[in-house]
């Protein structure tokens, strides 16, 4: 695909070709130019500087990207220093055996093994550069632990079917944050990003924020030699731009989609963002030469609704997870010089229902009233199965005692604020109730006979311990006491947003991170990392794996460019 294609959906322009270096009036130059300073970009920048290369990093916004906006979890194992301090036993081979079940063949076994072998050292490298991680362990099933726990099972490793092939080991490493801040589940990734950024600046990184890479520059052989970017020339325009964006983001944070009437405030926020975007027309071009290579690391494309509709239409109803920098520009920049793309229809959708644990003890069915999964699985496993194979729709079925216990599960300090609020909101305002199973089925549009039969079968599993989805009897809550309850957990659920992010990107050499063409030839001078590239996290997401892949692939590219 090229910028002339009607489905390009990007402001990225065709390549600028220079017959010789002097054809371009270069404003800046460095050994390595990083486009997008999030987790992958800052890892590449810092590692490059440590290896003796100079760095210029640019970002369309302030930097940090989805890494900074995230819950601040990195997936790591194989015997990390944090695991050892917490008494968790793990090996690279055990980590490999587990991840192989999650990622399939999206990367080669050699690449996955390298990822696992380097994992413990990655944590030491991050800690050595100022990242604070702590070994307080939460050893039970949860989507996100309480604010004082910083090591947990951020995957399916405690599910019996997974335990048959790999010994459970907590691998979700959270960056430390003070108690009040840690009660949130977003904007915690700064615990990783900010120390690494400060370390990079201390080593000499030059960072240009609000600088948009718009065009790749190549020489007559087609090798990447730099980028053309756009920068604000007028300080007044930039100040107004920042003010409008800040007001818009505050409005969206104050009125999230689960709050009634939020669409009105969303429209106001979008209007402000468009006003800010109009100010971009007055920016000037600058030309940055990359003597050894350009790294593309500017995130996915979940905030580009047109690209999303073109490549992954099943997920259009999901709630975009990331930042508005996830607009696909990095992927498109790579394509302009012949980079191949892959897995663009693959996304992760997060349907977390635990906590409260009692929600996960209930029964999940599709629109046919049929059960399709172990309700205890990790939220992304549930979400992707729901979207890919169940038309994006599902119902959580419980009875009154289970619902009451669910509210107890999240009372007081037993859960984070957002977990408690979501559970309470859906229990009190999103729940459909009926005195009989048949009446409940009719109320939510399911076949009464099928739902009745499914619930009877489910209740029987609580005593026989032979569940077809390998759910232990202790995790099955019988559904027997009227009134019976159904909560919509599908993409159409108004009070239960389902976050999603894109996983596809540029095809890269798994040893160097160089971007490859359709015929598998490396494009000299061009590298990609994080969600701009196909990587370990590009098939099936588990918490912290995208950040882990970003750090891994960013450092990989840095080593290749140093060599």
Percent of the chain whose predicted confidence (pLDDT) is above 70: 100
Q: Where does the pLDDT of residue 183 fall: very low under 50, low under 70, confident under 90, or very high at 90 and above?
A: confident
3-state secondary structure of 194: helix
Quick one: pLDDT at residue 416? 85
CA 192 to chain centre: 15
Q: Can you tell me the mean pLDDT for 132-149?
A: 94
* CA-based nearest residue to 526, from 538, 509, 550: 509
Quick one: pLDDT at residue 413? 81
Q: Can you tell me the mean pLDDT for 485-491?
A: 97
Distance from C-alpha of 387 to C-alpha of 463, rounded to nearest angstrom: 31
* CA-based nearest residue to 156, from 141, 144, 145: 141
Q: Where does the pLDDT of residue 162 fall: very low under 50, low under 70, confident under 90, or very high at 90 and above?
A: very high
3-state secondary structure of 274: helix
Residue pair 160/174 in contact by the 8 Å Cβ criterion: no
Full DSSP string of 53-73: --EEEE-SSSS-HHHHHS--E
Quick one: pLDDT at residue 483? 97
Quick one: pLDDT at residue 167? 98
3-state secondary structure of 97: helix
Residue pair 205/135 in contact by the 8 Å Cβ criterion: no
Q: How many CB atoms lie within 10 A of CB 422?
A: 23
* Structural domains of the chain ordered from first start: 16-70+189-233+283-348+499-562 (3.50.50.60), 73-182 (no CATH), 242-279 (no CATH), 351-488 (3.90.700.10)
Distance from C-alpha of 74 to C-alpha of 57, rounded to nearest angstrom: 23
Q: Can you tell me the mean pLDDT for 140-147?
A: 90
Quick one: pLDDT at residue 173? 98
Residue pair 555/513 in contact by the 8 Å Cβ criterion: no
**120: Cα within 13 Å, side-chain hemisphere:** 18
> DSSP assignment, residue 155?
S
Quick one: pLDDT at residue 180? 77
Residue pair 286/28 in contact by the 8 Å Cβ criterion: yes
Query: Is the pLDDT reported for residue 36 higher than 90?
Result: yes
Quick one: pLDDT at residue 261? 76
Quick one: pLDDT at residue 184? 78
Distance from C-alpha of 263 to C-alpha of 256, rounded to nearest angstrom: 9
* CA-based nearest residue to 171, from 130, 125, 120, 218: 120
pLDDT, one tens digit per residue, over 361-403 is 999 999 999 999 999 999 999 999 999 999 999 999 999 999 9
Quick one: pLDDT at residue 494? 87
Q: Can you tell me the mean pLDDT for 235-241?
A: 95
Quick one: pLDDT at residue 550? 98
Quick one: pLDDT at residue 181? 81
Q: Where does the pLDDT of residue 122 fall: very low under 50, low under 70, confident under 90, or very high at 90 and above?
A: very high
* CA-based nearest residue to 333, from 229, 220, 219: 229
* CA-based nearest residue to 227, from 18, 534, 46: 18
Q: Where does the pLDDT of residue 465 fall: very low under 50, low under 70, confident under 90, or very high at 90 and above?
A: confident
Lowest mean pLDDT among 217-231, 245-259, 511-525, 536-550: 245-259
Q: Which helix (H) or strand (E) holds 190?
A: helix 190-202
Q: Where does the pLDDT of residue 464 fall: very low under 50, low under 70, confident under 90, or very high at 90 and above?
A: confident
Quick one: pLDDT at residue 95? 98
Query: Is the pLDDT reported for residue 260 higher than 80?
Result: no
Quick one: pLDDT at residue 224? 98
Query: Is the pLDDT reported for residue 455 higher than 90?
Result: yes
Residue pair 88/150 in contact by the 8 Å Cβ criterion: no
Residue bearing the bigger pLDDT, 262 or 61: 61
Longest dimension (CA), the chain: 80
Residue pair 451/367 in contact by the 8 Å Cβ criterion: no
* CA-based nearest residue to 43, from 64, 24, 21: 64
Q: Where does the pLDDT of residue 109 fall: very low under 50, low under 70, confident under 90, or very high at 90 and above?
A: very high
Q: How many CB atoms lie within 10 A of CB 112?
A: 19
* CA-based nearest residue to 326, from 7, 39, 16: 39
3-state secondary structure of 546: helix
* CA-based nearest residue to 30, from 296, 293, 213: 293
Quick one: pLDDT at residue 400? 97
Question: pTM to 2 decimals?
Answer: 0.95
Query: Is the pLDDT reported for residue 126 higher than 90?
Result: yes
pLDDT, one tens digit per residue, over 501-510 is 999 999 999 9
């Amino acid at each position: 695909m090229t910028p002339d294609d009607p489905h390009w959906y990007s402001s990225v322009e065709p390549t600028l070709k220079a017959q010789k270096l002097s054809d371009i009036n270069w404003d800046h130059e460095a050994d390595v130019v990083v486009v997008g300073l999030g987790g992958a970009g800052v890892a590449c920048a810092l590692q490059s500087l440590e290896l003796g290369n100079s760095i210029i990093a640019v970002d369309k916004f302030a930097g940090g990207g989805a890494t900074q906006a995230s819950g601040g979890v990195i997936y790591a194992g194989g015997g990390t220093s944090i695991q050892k301090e917490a008494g968790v036993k793990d090996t690279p081979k055990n980590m490999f055996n587990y991840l192989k079940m999650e990622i399939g063949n999206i990367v080669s076994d050699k690449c996955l093994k390298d990822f696992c072998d380097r994992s413990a050292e990655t944590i030491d490298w991050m800690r050595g550069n100022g990242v604070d991680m702590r070994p307080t362990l939460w050893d039970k099933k949860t989507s996100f632990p309480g604010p004082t726990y910083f090591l947990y099972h951020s995957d399916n490793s405690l599910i019996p079917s997974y335990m048959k092939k790999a010994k459970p080991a907590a691998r979700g490493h959270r960056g430390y944050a003070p108690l009040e801040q840690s009660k949130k589940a977003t904007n915690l990734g700064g615990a990783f990003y900010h120390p690494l950024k400060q370390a990079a600046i201390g080593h000499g990184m030059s960072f240009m924020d609000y600088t948009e890479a718009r065009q790749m520059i190549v020489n007559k052989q087609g090798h990447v030699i730099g980028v053309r970017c756009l920068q604000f020339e007028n300080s007044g325009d930039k100040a107004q731009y920042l003010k409008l964006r800040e007001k818009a983001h505050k409005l969206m944070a104050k009125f999230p989609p689960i709050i009634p009437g939020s669409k009105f405030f969303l429209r106001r926020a979008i209007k402000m963002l468009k006003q800010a975007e109009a100010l971009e027309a007055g920016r000037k071009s600058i030309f940055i030469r990359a003597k050894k290579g350009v790294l593309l690391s500017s995130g996915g494309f979940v905030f580009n609704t047109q690209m999303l509709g073109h490549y992954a239409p099943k997920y259009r109803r999901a709630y975009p997870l990331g930042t508005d920098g996830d607009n696909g520009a990095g992927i498109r920049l790579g394509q302009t010089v012949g980079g191949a793309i892959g897995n663009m229809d693959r996304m992760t959708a997060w349907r977390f229902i635990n906590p409260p644990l009692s929600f996960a003890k209930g029964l999940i069915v599709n629109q046919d009233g049929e059960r399709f999964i172990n309700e205890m699985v990790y939220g992304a496993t549930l979400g992707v199965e729901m979207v890919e194979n169940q038309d994006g729709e599902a119902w959580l079925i419980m009875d009154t005692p289970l619902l009451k216990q669910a509210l107890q599960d999240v009372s007081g300090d037993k859960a984070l604020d957002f977990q408690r609020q979501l559970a309470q909101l859906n229990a009190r305002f999103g729940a459909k109730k009926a005195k009989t199973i048949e009446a409940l089925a009719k109320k939510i549009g399911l076949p009464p006979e099928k739902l009745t039969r499914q619930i009877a079968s489910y209740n029987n599993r609580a005593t026989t311990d032979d569940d077809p989805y390998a759910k232990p009897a202790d995790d099955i809550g019988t559904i027997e006491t009227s009134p019976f309850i159904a909560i919509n957990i599908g993409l159409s659920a108004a009070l239960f947003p389902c976050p999603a992010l894109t996983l596809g990107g540029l095809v890269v050499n798994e040893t160097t991170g160089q971007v490859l063409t359709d015929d598998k030839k490396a494009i000299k001078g061009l590298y990609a990392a994080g969600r701009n590239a196909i990587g370990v996290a590009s098939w099936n997401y588990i918490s912290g794996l995208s950040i882990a892949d970003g750090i891994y692939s960013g450092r990989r590219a840095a080593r290749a460019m140093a060599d």
